[in-house]
Amino acid sequence: MAHPKRKISKTRRDKRRTHVKATKPTLATDPTTNQAHIYHRAHWHEGKLYYKGQVVIGDSAE
């Protein structure tokens, strides 16, 4: 197995990891229910599952 010849400093390690960070998900508003939800995700509202403003699972789903 490969082993490092020298210890990598905390600064050097942290510089490599600067682009790794958590980001907030982008929210969208459903045109039918005015509910905030994550983009490209279905969401529940009053017992029905909505996607792109249409009922996917619920009373009027086909």
Determine the pLDDT at residue 20.
83
The 10s digit of each residue's pLDDT in 5-61 is: 999 999 999 999 988 888 888 999 988 888 899 989 999 998 899 988 889 888 765
H/E stretch holding 16: helix 10-16
Q: How confident is the model at residue 62 (pLDDT cuts 50, 70, 90)?
A: low
Report the alpha-carbon distance of residue 51 to residue 62 in Å, rounded.
14
Domain map (residue ranges) of the chain:
26-62
Determine the pLDDT at residue 22.
87
Report the alpha-carbon distance of residue 58 to residue 3 in Å, rounded.
58
